[in-house]
Structure 1
């Protein structure tokens, strides 16, 4: 089974218009700038982009984010296994791009028999917005308050425009991270993402302003029939003008113009929908404030099937788990 370069992989992945952005060659090249080595293998009916992270003593960890692609993964995973062993992987984490309850997906429990079921890296639960129909259809699927806030931002003279000012966006990210208590990537991280994806029409940076004063921004990504809201930021000024609502609306319009039929809002608390609806108005911790905002856009709550780890070096794997658990406890 051949190892594919970026161009060969792009030719292969073009056969899968619903493939996840994290399996694109561009995502592999993006992560390569931050310590990961992408390796891509495929046969006639399936393929995977594997990311390897170097550890001390010549060891690695391996990760297939939102893959593999295609069907009948048995032969593919044998090849993946061989590459992991050659690169002295402590373990391989596979995080399939499958939703709970979806039909037609591989029988994952059989495929991963003998593997460790584990926590995924990416958010397990999300909200997907349906972009089929016209814009009035989108609005009709939203909560009344969200429709109102979009129109309020327009009445209050908020302007949303495309931008290439990643440095400004990063400054707003720092403000948001400090206010809401989450980590922020470096300027180089966002700049690299924009520089790789934007020239190919796979990313847009949108900024919301009032009287030329920046209020909020977001980076939206697209591949095939799907789009994703990965990064968003806002200042502490003029928040009564609801700029973030208009930003999401314009991101949806951009995604639809790219041919996308689904817009993924990317990450909400991993709780059952009944719990989410019972507690969203009272909870402020974690992603609860994010859910309160995202629920209004009328999307469907989805939960991924999770992740499985293929363990090659059990003792080192156990140590790795202990270290990562301690980091989560430390915040």
Structure 2
């Protein structure tokens, strides 16, 4: 592709609906690159900007850039699960990364971080290095995950699962667990479940306003579903599944402390698989497992069967043991890549991070 024939569309020139349609139709499109996701992150302090390349009036590549301002004023620029482009066209990539960098520099960003939705490979790593990026140890999105192939029929998808997982799905049904699509009125109850899960499993939870914004942005157009598992009117667990194009992503999940023996989480995942398949999805991304599994540092089979000591560390290992039974394929992404745009800004960031790491809270302080 001749890069001289490309035109650049900036944020103010891009129609949000046209942008989202482009992302949804592209082979490398991702829900985190949609305008709707940018609107959601704007609720929690980020700013979103989009830039695209056109050829003959049609969009051929682009990126949504999220900015987060630091205490000293310089923002951090981040492209989650992007850019959206044909990675087999180096000239196209060079033109797009030039446009992205210009956007970031106009906002005086100290760092540009990209986290492409690409499988880990030496070829892609070299390509990102050719664009001026260096591999980063600080990822934002999970680097390793599990993909379920939804191209087969439901019976075959069920047959690929481990026997115990098939049993648990059927057990939930026999024990009276039902799954339904949640409404906006269910969000306070879902929030309580999230807080219970966060306290139990030691992870951060978004505010109720954040989940409400996600519901309003993604549920009406059919791009997300809040699935709730109940037993005789009692809410046991819930998950949130997003979809775009041919892919569905399980991003959030929560469960209570009672009646976990009824296997509501297995029932929810099966309902999510059915929901995604009914919408034409061919891939269901279970979103996040220990990267040691994806990197091959620990045998997936051994860890799933509890044959190593790693599971004793908690964290994502319990999540992995649950997800691996659904019969998917472990996928590892190329990870996060950084380009320094301001050395003084990077130095200030590292100084602030070190101060935060060494900070000792005062007695009784929050």
TM-score norm. by structure 2 comes to 0.84
**Aligned pair 1:181/2:188, yes or no?**
no
Aligned to 2:26: 16
Change (3 A) 1:319 1:11: same
Query: Runs of 5+ in structure 1 lacking a partner?
Result: none
Larger Rg computed on CA atoms: 2
Aligned to 1:243: 264
Aligned residues: 329
Q: Whole-Å Cα distance in 1 between the matches of residues 356 and 258 of structure 2?
A: 33
Deviation, structure 1 residue 59? 1.8
**Aligned pair 1:143/2:162, yes or no?**
yes
Aligned to 2:333: 304
Root-mean-square deviation (CA, aligned residues, Å) is 2.1
Aligned to 1:87: 107
40, 49, 53: which is aligned to 1:30? 40
Aligned to 1:40: 50
Aligned to 1:191: 212
Deviation, structure 1 residue 117? 3.3
- Correspondence 1:1-331 to 2 at 5 A: 1-3=8-10, 4-44=14-54, 45-71=60-86, 72-101=92-121, 107-113=126-132, 115=134, 117-164=136-183, 165-272=186-293, 273=296, 274-280=298-304, 281=306, 283-284=311-312, 285-321=314-350, 323-324=352-353
Deviation, structure 1 residue 310? 1.2
SS of equivalent to 2:299: helix
TM-score norm. by structure 1 comes to 0.93
- Between 1:172-181 and 1:50-59, the stretch displaced more is 50-59
